[in-house]
Amino acid sequence: MLSIQDLSRPGLKPFSIDLNEGECVVLTGPSGAGKTLLLRAIADLDPNKGSVFLNQVNKNEYTAPEWRRAVCYLSTESGWWADDVGIHFPNHQSAGELLPKLGIGPDALNWQVARLSTGERQRLALARLILVSPSVMLLDEPTSGLDPESETMVEQILLQKLAEDVSILIVTHSSDQANRLATRCLKMNSGVVSEDIA
C-alpha cells in the first residue's frame, strides 16, 4: 500500500519500507534518533529526497493537501488554531460519535481549547486525524501523556482501524504497546533505521 524508497533528508539516512494494508509498524529508538523527522518526511512536511508511493501512485502526483489527507501525520504536540474545540472538527455529528470511544464526552465540542488537559488534547488531536479517514496514519507517540485506561481506549480504536485495512506507522517508547499493536518493529538510531528482530 505505502511504498517508501530511499527517503532521506538532513538528519535522516535513506530509508525504504513497504507497508501493507492493515499493517502496524512500530518505530522505537532514543530521543533525537530522527523518528519525528522520518514521519514528517513521509507526510512531506519538510523538504526530502527519494520517492514515496501510495497504491503505486507517486507522492508528487498528488497535491500536497491530498497527500496529507491520505497519509496523515499526528505530531506529539497537538496544535490548535482557534479558541473553540468545535471549530477544529468540520463534522460535529461524526465527531460526536467518535469522541466517547476515546473517553471524551461529546460536549467537548463546546469547550475552549485553553481548558483542555494534555491527555484531552492528545485524544482530540487523534480524533481529528481519524475523522479525515486517511489510508495511512503516522502517529508520533499518541499515548505518551495518557493514563492506562485512556491508552487502552486509544489502542482499541487503532486496532479497529487496522482491521479496516488502514496502515499505521507509530512511534512509541513503550515496549508493551509495541507488543500489543505491532506486526513489525523497527529500531532507529542516529538517523538509521534497522529491523528489530528481538
Partner 1 sequence: MNFISLSPVDVGISALLLIINALLSIALRLGLAKQMIIAATRMVIQLLLVGLVLKALFDLASPLFTSVMGLTMILFSGREVMARQSRQLTGWWAYGLGTTAMLIAGTVVTLFALTTQVRPEPWYEARVALPIFGMILGNTMTGIALGLDRLLTSIGRERSAIESRLALGHTIKEAMSGVLRNAIRSGLIPIINSMSAIGLVSIPGMMTGQILAGIEPMEAVKYQLLIMFLIAGGTTFGVLGAVLACGWRLTDNRHRLRLDRLSETKQA
What sign has the CA pseudo-torsion 90, 169, 34, 153? positive
Q: Which is nearer to partner 1, 46 or 164 (CB)?
A: 46
To partner 1, the closest distance from the beta carbon of 78 in angstroms equals 6
Q: Rank residues 63 and 93 by Cβ distance to partner 1 and give the closer one.
A: 63
What does the alpha-carbon distance between residue 21 and residue 19 come to, in Å, rounded to a whole number? 7
Contact (Cβ atoms closer than 8 angstroms) between residue 188 and residue 38:
yes
CA distance 141 to 104: 19
The nearest distance, CB 61 to partner 1, in angstroms, is: 12
Minimum gap (Å) between residue 79 Cβ and partner 1: 3
In the bound state with partner 1, the residue whose beta carbon lies nearer, of 15 and 67, is 67
> Which residues of the shown chain bind partner 1 in the complex (CB under 8 A)?
43-47, 63-66, 68-69, 72-75, 77-81, 125, 128-129, 132
State the nearest-atom distance from the C-beta of 67 to partner 1, in Å: 8
By C-beta, is 47 or 148 nearer to partner 1? 47
Tell me the closest approach of the beta carbon of residue 152 to partner 1, in angstroms.
25
Give 68 or 101: the residue with its C-beta nearer to partner 1.
Answer: 68
